[in-house]
Amino acid sequence: MEEGKLVNDKGIRVDGRRVDELRPIKLEAGVLNRADGSAYIEWGKNKVLAAVYGPREAHPRHRQDPARALVQCRYNMAPFSVSDRKRPGPDRRSVEISKVISEAFSHVVLREQFPRATVDVFMEVLQASAGTRCTALTVAAVALADAGIPMRDIISSCAFGKADGQVILDLDKAEDNEGQADVPIAIVPRTNEIVLLQMDGHITKEEFDSGLKMAVDACHRINEMQRDALRRRYSVTADTHEAVKAISEGV
């Protein structure tokens, strides 16, 4: 492989992946004691934990929506999750990510069932290595299902991008730093509706179209892993059998 090349002539990337190949993903549901639902993911070198509390009464009261539940997400990076220590607490980047993830989940949670309530979703990035917002959204979707929050579907997320002029799936850290574009998306797998889409960089319409197709396909593969994690979880706890069924059938 040429020096400095991110994708070689055979379409193989530095870490050995093909252009449309995901990094390895490990997902586990039900990992915390206090939360109503929780999940843990390792995606490439990312490690993210998600917890869900609710539906519970929203505070302060003037924030309540009398017709439906709020879905409030908090994406947070641990100070030691990145090479240069990050100051504790929300910065502008994490506020924006929290907002777009909240909006994505608001589309699928059956919010009308819980007026005045809030569903709080906490995502803690414990180790970060490119693509944390997709990783966080994916694990949070499992935590929401684990908490028994009624949803139209389990949403799935993945990024595509461009490096060395090639459209590639699921950028790793070097590809993110040196590539030309990064496009995180999230979809409702059952309908292929797009609920999260961001992009910056430089990409043509044609590249965008082919990358989007690649990422949508990958989201479906990821959705299978999310459902597997929930099945493993529920095979252990038989009393939540109904919930499993509801989710597998996509009520």
- How near is the Cβ of 187 to other proteins at its closest, in Å? 8
Tell which one of 6, 51, 142, 219 touches other proteins (CB under 8 A): 51
Give the list of residues 6+ apart from residue 102 with CB closer than 8 angstroms, or none.
71, 72, 73, 121
Tell which one of 20, 124, 146, 175 touches other proteins (CB under 8 A): 124
Find, among 199, 220, 206, 192, the residue nearest to 20 by Cα: 220
- How near is the Cβ of 172 to other proteins at its closest, in Å? 14
What's the sign of the alpha-carbon dihedral 88, 161, 222, 95?
positive
Q: Which of the residues 136 through 155 are near other proteins (CB under 8 A)?
A: none
Give the whole-angstrom CA distance, residue 190 versus residue 182.
Answer: 24
The maximal CA–CA distance of the chain, rounded, in angstroms, is 60
Binding mask 95-114 for other proteins (x = CB under 8 A): xx-xxx--x--xx-------
Tell me the residue length of the chain: 251
Tell which one of 22, 174, 198, 248 touches other proteins (CB under 8 A): 198
Question: Is there binding between residue 82 and other proteins (CB under 8 A)?
Answer: yes
Binding-site ranges for other proteins (CB under 8 A): 32-35, 45, 47, 49, 51, 53, 56, 63, 65, 74, 76, 78-85, 88-90, 92-93, 95-96, 98-100, 103, 106-107, 120, 122, 124, 126-129, 183, 188, 191-205, 208-209, 212, 216
